[in-house]
Structure 1
Amino acid sequence: MPSSRATPEPRPGDDRSTDLIRWAAFSCFLVPVVLLWYGSSLAGAAGTALGLAAVTAACRVLLRRSERCAARLLDEEDAPQTHPRGRHQRTGPGSHRGGRHSGGNSPVG
């Protein structure tokens, strides 16, 4: 059964996160220029540029991480659902431990 979410086919050059990062980098250049134009100090404009660059870099890292996690979740959704049993989740004889025993260890005869 196909997924209920329709995902458009990715086209070359249609990466929205890359466009977002490009606009953020452009603003890292544009904002200090505007600050200098309106009479701010060079040190203040440089500090603003560095701060914007740091925020842009952090956002880029978080955005890429989010994309990887979303892609992993979509891959897991499409994978067949298997439930591997760990060491403490045994099936078969001996899986029902605890409770009263009816003397199963006593010799027959």
Structure 2
Amino acid sequence: MSRPLYQLKAEFFRTLGHPARIRVLELLSLREHAVAEMVPQVGVEPANLSQQLTVLRQAGLVATRKERATVYYSLTSPHVAELLVAARRILSGVLSGQVELLEDLRAAGPPVPRTG
């Protein structure tokens, strides 16, 4: 029996639920990268980066190609990059709403103390 689509989606988003994985996907949205190129940009140890790349590869989000001793990673679909752009738009909207709320609170001035 197959799993419902909502469960598959939840697993997909759990895969994305690590900052290093998101950063890797952002980098790969620009172009393919070798592991050594990504280490300083992702900000994790090489062993941890390899673990995160394995998770992304097992999820089918990244592919590899080997050229001599160097392994290059790339996205398996441009839709992954589109998802990251959509997430950025959503977060921008949420954060701008919070900025507007903060501005409204500041504009209201200090609270008036109650006398009792």
Same fold (TM over 0.5): no
Higher relative contact order (CA 8 A, sep 6+): 2
The structure whose residues are more often helix, as a share, is 2
Rg comparison, structure with higher value: 1
| TM-score, length basis structure 1 | 0.37
| TM-score, length basis structure 2 | 0.35
The structure whose residues are more often strand, as a share, is 2
